[in-house]
């Protein structure tokens, strides 16, 4: 298996622009997670899905952030409008269930100018 795929490793955008991050989980995994990592705040769980349904989005920082999972093999995290403080590394992870190992993608490093 190819693992969790985050095909974009680096994304640079300007403040106010919309940015969409993409993730393909491991086939057969029912859970998908989005995390944000910064030096100041560490690793933060933003949202997770079970069978394509959002279960807990309490970590989403504000309404500018939204996530979707239209099918079992694809998820997006959108920031609109983006701000410089959104600059971070965004990780996607998937797992068979909540108490099993999470498999992380390589992350997308977002820079908002």
Partner 1 sequence: GDSVTQMEGPVTLSEEAFLTINCTYTATGYPSLFWYVQYPGEGLQLLLKATKADDKGSNKGFEATYRKETTSFHLEKGSVQVSDSAVYFCALSTSDRDDKIIFGKGTRLHILP
Nearer to partner 1, 18 or 56 (CB): 56
Place of tokens 């693992």: 3
Structure tokens at 51: 């069978």
In the DSSP assignment, the letter for residue 78 is: E
Among 33, 34, 49, 65, binds partner 1 (CB under 8 A): 33
Whole-number minimum distance, CB 7 to partner 1, in Å?
14
Whole-number minimum distance, CB 11 to partner 1, in Å?
16
Ranges within 45-64 binding partner 1 (CB under 8 A): 45, 48, 55-56
Rounded Cα distance between 98 and 40, Å, is: 27
Place of tokens 């974009």: 8
61: left (phi over 0), alpha (psi -120 to 50) or beta: alpha
Whole-number minimum distance, CB 28 to partner 1, in Å?
17
Residues of this chain that bind partner 1 (CB under 8 A)? 4, 33, 42-43, 45, 48, 55-56, 91, 93, 97-99, 101-107
């Amino acid at each position: 298996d190819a693992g969790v795929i985050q095909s974009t490793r680096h994304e640079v955008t300007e403040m106010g622009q919309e940015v969409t991050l993409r993730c393909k989980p491991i086939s057969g995994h029912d859970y998908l997670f989005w995390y944000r990592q910064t030096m100041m705040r560490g690793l933060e769980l933003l949202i997770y899905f079970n069978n394509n349904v959002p279960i807990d989005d309490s970590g989403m920082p504000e309404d500018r952030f939204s996530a979707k999972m239209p099918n079992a093999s694809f998820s997006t995290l959108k920031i609109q409008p983006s701000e410089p403080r959104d600059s971070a590394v965004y990780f996607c992870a998937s797992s068979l269930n909540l108490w099993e190992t999470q498999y992380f993608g390589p992350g997308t490093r977002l820079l908002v100018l």
